[in-house]
Structure 1
Amino acid sequence: MTEKLVVIGAGMASGRALEHILETDPAKYDITLFGSEPRGNYNRIMLSPVLSGEKTFAEIVTHDTAWYEANGITTRFGEAVTQIDRDRKVVVSAGGETPYDKLLIATGSAPFIIPVQGKDLPGVIAFRDLEDVETMRAAAKPGAKAVVIGGGLLGLEAAAGLRMLGMEVTVLHLMGHLMERQLDEAAGYLLRKALTDRGIKVMCRASTAAILGEERVEGVMLEDNTGIEADLVVMAVGIRPETRLANDAGLEVGRGIVVDDHMVTSDPDILAVGECVEHNKQLFGLVAPLYDQAKVVANTLHGAGGAFMPKQTSTKLKVTGVDLFSAGDFAEGEGREDIVFRDPARGVYKRLVIENDRLIGAVMYGDTADGSWFFGLIRDGETISEMRDTLIFGPSYQGGAALDPMAAVAALPDEAEICGCNGVCKGKIVQAITEGGLTTLDEVKAVTKASSSCGTCTGLVEQVLAVTLGDDFVLPTVKPVCACTDLTHEDVRRLIKAQDLKSMPAVMQELGWKTTCGCHVCRPALNFYLLADWPDDYKDDYQSRFINERAHANIQKDGTFSVVPRMWGGVTTPAELRAIADAVEKYDVPLLKVTGGQRLDLLGVKKEDLPAMWADLNAAGLVSGHAYTKGLRTVKTCVGSDFCRFGTQDSTGLGIKLEKRLWGSWTPHKVKLAVSGCPRNCAEATCKDLGIVCVDSGYQIGVGGAAGMDLKATELLTTVASEEEAIEISVAFVQLYRENAKYLDRPYKWIAKVGLDWVKARVVDDLAERAALVARFDHSQTIYQKDPWAERAQGGSRHEFTPLADFSFKEAAE
């Protein structure tokens, strides 16, 4: 008989517990999951890269809507549980009462807020969830001032992220050096120096007396009467287990919710997991022990036995460009000795603490590659007597001579821990690779979870993959935009947004371009990224466009041009046809051809005739078909239900509505659409970038097709009942593509990189995000949806058009 399991808290610990519960027996429990946040499980330890702009929130989502639905979990997000009634075995929330047979409490922790004057002012926040990140990003205007109180892991990650967003940042730390719980004084000094070099001001032995301001925060006052201006204050001074529900329910609570070795509370039907837990007088804040607890929870709920035994943990700082590792006990003491390595020129510092021929502590800065190996020695308590003289140099030097790093990885025993967050050893990774035929890092992540949390073991996991596959291993290539930079397209897109770079010179200056003005490869890409990201601030640079886009026509091999007027959905009128025929005769056009996209192509137009021809065509109501641009080319339609006996919907009308909504938008590459009125698919909708097939019940929306050098059928995005929803999803899809794809990647290439599930989650499942995408697209269209030749004739206010005689035709073909 299925039992009812209620889970309070949708964080990382409960998320991992749910995975283990479902792996063992997915039918044993009917699961209801409550979460106070309006979303499911995401990787909170990766909020720092989201803050800095190095990752998007979508990239750190662990369980999306589809996962919960696929596993039959009832989700109650944005609905906090207010009471646990143990006698009646129900939990109470705004939605009423929910009964349980077993209850799992995973309420996590709450940030500690220093009880000083001004702590409740607007602009004073913690750093614990996505809302905090969004608040920080909203406040991060260039030149604005931020004060971060707390020089521990979270505080420094917040400071680095805010600095990357352009804020002036000051870190206040009560102790004598940063991260004093994880670092010795020497490593703390190097860390402080690295942060100072980044423009972050660090003040140690700084005690906060008050936070100043009237309507919102204006500054911080220290105990020594030093005043520091602040537009934002981030408190990152520690956390406390969230135990209020447990307290009110009469469970045993110390500093946290007291649990036994099986994660069971003082009530045998209630378990607890995560940062809210106290086990043997100990609290837990790092992810590795929380994941261990999650496995024990699943075992207990399935009656499989097993006990939670806390293990050694290590610490790494997630600040790009700052490599830091700490594990074990590095305090000075009688009977202990240090091995220290310093290389000031490279900024490398390593300190090992040894006691009774065993490694008990390690601190590393600047070069942390061997951190996992040292951590294994600390955890396992192995004697190091035989490698005492070469220990500091890591595993590559054991045996008396330096080994190739790959050989050192190959020599690691199967029980060597590779991923500390998820407790994954080398043997498990090797087994997954050999038995599952895994060949990529992403596949290893998906199967073993190694490198899926903080990501600092990624290089080591990749080395294990390379050693295991041997000659079959293919190293992932990272291709920069061009020779002007070492950054990839993805890096550039991310940093333009993260650093509010709104001009070509700003991008090249701040991102370290090797040339002063770029080249014919990077300038068009940068021009598009800036247009897509900052429609209100950036002015299109025609000199950074390909010749076709500068001339608003397709150049041919003899130097003449092809002109394609737009015909909405392939529908035209006698007046439009007369105007086209007149233009062909007037300008002596050698060829008039019907295109595959149901339009007329005037081929062989002389460049000096382009302005006059377009003036004539505009006068007849025709606009550019944009057959030359990286944007919407055509929406191909069949006649649909108005004329065809097989038509199920008005495909022509829908195609016209889509084309009129989407035309003129700049996209990473050309975009072709089609709408077929029935599954017979006369408009060939199933091989377009976006294709809609009308059926009796509504509209099947497919994406990611191709019919050029690559042949590919569309993948079904969704099926909807109404024309309005089909248009909305189509617009949202195009905007998502605009905002995220690499320049010159067609939609099918982009979808292959991000995954169709990721696209679905944003344009189909998440109604709020869909609406936001549509709003951003429509706003951009108010600026850019203009016919270029009509605008030129009117002396357009936003774009400048250079006379055609000034154009150069020496650029490479697109």
Structure 2
Amino acid sequence: MKRILIIGNGVSGINVASNLRKSDRDIEIEIFTDESYHYYPRPRLIDLLADRITLEEIFFYRETWYRENNINVHLSSTVNEILPDEKRIVLAGGKTFSYDVLVLANGAKPSLPPIDGVDKSGVFSIRWLDDVLNLKERVKKSGEVVVIGGGLLGLEIASAIQSSGIKVKVIEILPWLLPRQLDETGGRLLKKILESRGLEVYVNSATEKILGDGEVSGVVTKDGRIFRCNTIVVSAGIKSNIDLAKNCGLNTNRGIIVDNYLRTSRGEIYALGDVAEWEGRIYGIIPPALDQAKVVASNILGETVEYKGTVPSNILKVAGIDLFSIGTIDKTEGYEVISSLDEDTGIYKKFVIDDGKIIGAILLGDRRNALYIERVVKEGRDISRYKEDILSDDFDWRRL
């Protein structure tokens, strides 16, 4: 019987396990995680922070699911070492486990910028459940909170904290918000909407120093502004957890380098999700992790399935504002761009077209047709006949 060890209990690892079990009831599956909790979808951390769900509601599966599917999860089990020649892993306490196939789904950690004082008490980053539980306790005593980083997670954190009545400021180093999901027009519109709802947003603002004698008391930006606060949340991206792979001799760069079958430089070891680097890219979002989990599971089971990439897309609600973003949205030189902006209603639509096909789109404030547009983009459908109509609210995307 083949034994599969999976390091990491996030969306990548758990979906490899569930895909394996759907096709093979006998294969042995063991999952190892640093955390003391079973799998929870990371987006639910924000719901918990905003008190939209309870702690019990954050978990995706009941504990009975793991027993029924014969998936053995080792909680609070840090893997210290991989011994690829022996096909074994070594836990922090010295216990070893052998494998036939090893899957690295150990994700990433928050990337902390080199800001003076970032190690002070009262500075948080959000990646794991304990981070949110600790931040919730801190926020109860906070007068004001500063969020460093105006990306997706930063804005969601800011909105969640603001919902509890706490005053929040967002500081973003770039000229507009959500630089990965929006162009400048969309980013500036989003800033206007958020400010109308009481959130203070400062763009083009680089944080130079965190103030405080041990405990946080504020931040100083490079242009000399001082923002007083007693809690700071840093949301400045992620950094892949490559040390385990690097130390055992696997090829790494920013992530663990994988081929089109998501194999590492050792054929019996796979990597996927936030820790994997495929064709120079680390996606860092959920849809590619789901796609990659299917590929890894299929290949472990003896099929020959290539990963062909994932068109990055986000269908989400940022601070109560609908947003859909997919594909190429900002670097549009040489492409046809069709867009409309209504600042009064807070609705912005943009389509980037290449040779009659939509290769990128933004829907801000109204994402009713997002699923249809996502399909059109991913399937490369020709929309040449309808270019004059796609901005209309009445256009029926189902005809494409």
Deviation string, structure 1 residues 274-304 (Cα, Å, up to 9, x no partner): 1000111111211111111101111111102
> How far is 1:215 from its partner?
2.5
Give the structure 2 partner of residue 148 of structure 1.
147
Deviation string, structure 1 residues 318-356 (Cα, Å, up to 9, x no partner): 335211121121235444333222333322221222232
Whole-angstrom distance in 2 between the partners of 1:320 and 1:63: 27
Whole-angstrom distance in 1 between the partners of 2:158 and 2:17: 33
Give the structure 1 partner of residue 180 of structure 2.
181
Residue 349 of structure 2 corresponds to residue 350 of structure 1: yes
Give the structure 2 partner of residue 78 of structure 1.
76
SS at match of 1:392: coil
Give the structure 1 partner of residue 45 of structure 2.
47
Whole-angstrom distance in 2 between the partners of 1:235 and 1:320: 18
Whole-angstrom distance in 2 between the partners of 1:268 and 1:257: 13
> How far is 1:59 from its partner?
2.5
Give the structure 1 partner of residue 395 of structure 2.
397
Give the structure 2 partner of residue 264 of structure 1.
263
Amino acid at match of 1:257: I
Amino acid at match of 1:359: I
> How far is 1:147 from its partner?
0.8
Whole-angstrom distance in 2 between the partners of 1:139 and 1:343: 39
- How many residue pairs end up in the alignment? 399
Bigger Cα displacement from structure 2, 241-250 vs 80-89:
80-89
The 5-angstrom pairing of residues 438-457 of structure 1 reads none
User: Does structure 1 conserve the Cα–Cα contact (< 8 Å) formed by 2:324 and 2:364?
Assistant: yes
Whole-angstrom distance in 2 between the partners of 1:295 and 1:195: 38
- Higher gyration radius (CA): 1
SS at match of 1:346: coil
The 5-angstrom pairing of residues 58-457 of structure 1 reads 58-95=56-93, 96-141=95-140, 144-331=143-330, 333-393=332-392, 396-398=394-396, 411=398
Whole-angstrom distance in 2 between the partners of 1:38 and 1:332: 43
Whole-angstrom distance in 2 between the partners of 1:226 and 1:170: 13
Give the structure 2 partner of residue 56 of structure 1.
54
> How far is 1:317 from its partner?
3.9
User: Does structure 2 conserve the Cα–Cα contact (< 8 Å) formed by 1:121 and 1:216?
Assistant: yes
Deviation string, structure 1 residues 381-431 (Cα, Å, up to 9, x no partner): 22212112211126x534xxxxxxxxx7xx568xxxxxxxxxxxxxxxxxx
Structure 2 vs 1, CA of residues 386 and 310 (structure 1 numbering), >3 Å: closer, same or farther? same
> How far is 1:91 from its partner?
0.9
The 5-angstrom pairing of residues 328-727 of structure 1 reads 328-331=327-330, 333-393=332-392, 396-398=394-396, 411=398
> How far is 1:130 from its partner?
1.0
Deviation string, structure 1 residues 242-275 (Cα, Å, up to 9, x no partner): 1010011111111111111222111122111210
User: Does structure 1 conserve the Cα–Cα contact (< 8 Å) formed by 2:182 and 2:330?
Assistant: no
User: Does structure 2 conserve the Cα–Cα contact (< 8 Å) formed by 1:258 and 1:278?
Assistant: yes
Whole-angstrom distance in 2 between the partners of 1:153 and 1:68: 32
Structure 2 vs 1, CA of residues 163 and 142 (structure 1 numbering), >3 Å: closer, same or farther? farther
- Runs of 4+ in structure 1 off by over 4 angstroms are none
Structure of higher RCO (CA pairs closer than 8 Å, 6+ residues apart)? 2
SS at match of 2:25: coil
User: Does structure 2 conserve the Cα–Cα contact (< 8 Å) formed by 1:211 and 1:217?
Assistant: yes
Whole-angstrom distance in 2 between the partners of 1:362 and 1:61: 32
Deviation string, structure 1 residues 674-702 (Cα, Å, up to 9, x no partner): xxxxxxxxxxxxxxxxxxxxxxxxxxxxx
Q: If each structure's strand is expressed as a fraction of its own residues, which one has the higher value?
A: 2
Root-mean-square deviation (CA, aligned residues, Å) is 1.8
Whole-angstrom distance in 1 between the partners of 2:91 and 2:72: 14
Give the structure 2 partner of residue 31 of structure 1.
29
Deviation string, structure 1 residues 128-152 (Cα, Å, up to 9, x no partner): 1111111221122376211111100
Give the structure 1 partner of residue 16 of structure 2.
17
> How far is 1:122 from its partner?
1.4
Q: Which runs of 5+ in 2 are unaligned?
A: none
SS at match of 1:36: coil
Deviation string, structure 1 residues 468-522 (Cα, Å, up to 9, x no partner): xxxxxxxxxxxxxxxxxxxxxxxxxxxxxxxxxxxxxxxxxxxxxxxxxxxxxxx
User: Does structure 1 conserve the Cα–Cα contact (< 8 Å) formed by 2:348 and 2:364?
Assistant: yes
> How far is 1:113 from its partner?
0.4
User: Does structure 2 conserve the Cα–Cα contact (< 8 Å) formed by 1:136 and 1:162?
Assistant: no
Deviation string, structure 1 residues 642-668 (Cα, Å, up to 9, x no partner): xxxxxxxxxxxxxxxxxxxxxxxxxxx
Whole-angstrom distance in 1 between the partners of 2:33 and 2:244: 14
Amino acid at match of 2:16: A
Whole-angstrom distance in 1 between the partners of 2:85 and 2:119: 38
Whole-angstrom distance in 1 between the partners of 2:215 and 2:8: 31
Whole-angstrom distance in 2 between the partners of 1:86 and 1:333: 45
Whole-angstrom distance in 1 between the partners of 2:329 and 2:266: 39
SS at match of 1:323: strand
Deviation string, structure 1 residues 745-784 (Cα, Å, up to 9, x no partner): xxxxxxxxxxxxxxxxxxxxxxxxxxxxxxxxxxxxxxxx
User: Does structure 2 conserve the Cα–Cα contact (< 8 Å) formed by 1:48 and 1:318?
Assistant: no
> How far is 1:20 from its partner?
0.5
Deviation string, structure 1 residues 74-127 (Cα, Å, up to 9, x no partner): 221111101111122211113411111211111101110012221111111111
SS at match of 1:194: helix
Whole-angstrom distance in 1 between the partners of 2:157 and 2:364: 20
User: Does structure 2 conserve the Cα–Cα contact (< 8 Å) formed by 1:141 and 1:166?
Assistant: no
Whole-angstrom distance in 2 between the partners of 1:97 and 1:332: 49
Whole-angstrom distance in 2 between the partners of 1:121 and 1:349: 40
Amino acid at match of 1:45: P
SS at match of 1:16: helix
Structure 2 vs 1, CA of residues 246 and 278 (structure 1 numbering), >3 Å: closer, same or farther? same
SS at match of 1:300: helix
User: Does structure 2 conserve the Cα–Cα contact (< 8 Å) formed by 1:182 and 1:326?
Assistant: yes
Give the structure 2 partner of residue 669 of structure 1.
none
Whole-angstrom distance in 1 between the partners of 2:184 and 2:358: 19
User: Does structure 2 conserve the Cα–Cα contact (< 8 Å) formed by 1:41 and 1:64?
Assistant: no
Whole-angstrom distance in 2 between the partners of 1:222 and 1:154: 21
Whole-angstrom distance in 1 between the partners of 2:199 and 2:84: 50
Q: If each structure's helix is expressed as a fraction of its own residues, which one has the higher value?
A: 1
User: Does structure 1 conserve the Cα–Cα contact (< 8 Å) formed by 2:156 and 2:319?
Assistant: no
Whole-angstrom distance in 1 between the partners of 2:260 and 2:78: 28
Whole-angstrom distance in 1 between the partners of 2:334 and 2:261: 37
Amino acid at match of 1:145: E
Amino acid at match of 2:261: H
Structure 2 vs 1, CA of residues 143 and 60 (structure 1 numbering), >3 Å: closer, same or farther? closer
Whole-angstrom distance in 2 between the partners of 1:22 and 1:195: 44
User: Does structure 2 conserve the Cα–Cα contact (< 8 Å) formed by 1:261 and 1:307?
Assistant: yes
Residue 15 of structure 2 corresponds to residue 3 of structure 1: no
> How far is 1:309 from its partner?
1.1
Deviation string, structure 1 residues 554-594 (Cα, Å, up to 9, x no partner): xxxxxxxxxxxxxxxxxxxxxxxxxxxxxxxxxxxxxxxxx
User: Does structure 2 conserve the Cα–Cα contact (< 8 Å) formed by 1:149 and 1:234?
Assistant: yes
User: Does structure 2 conserve the Cα–Cα contact (< 8 Å) formed by 1:288 and 1:313?
Assistant: yes
SS at match of 1:44: coil
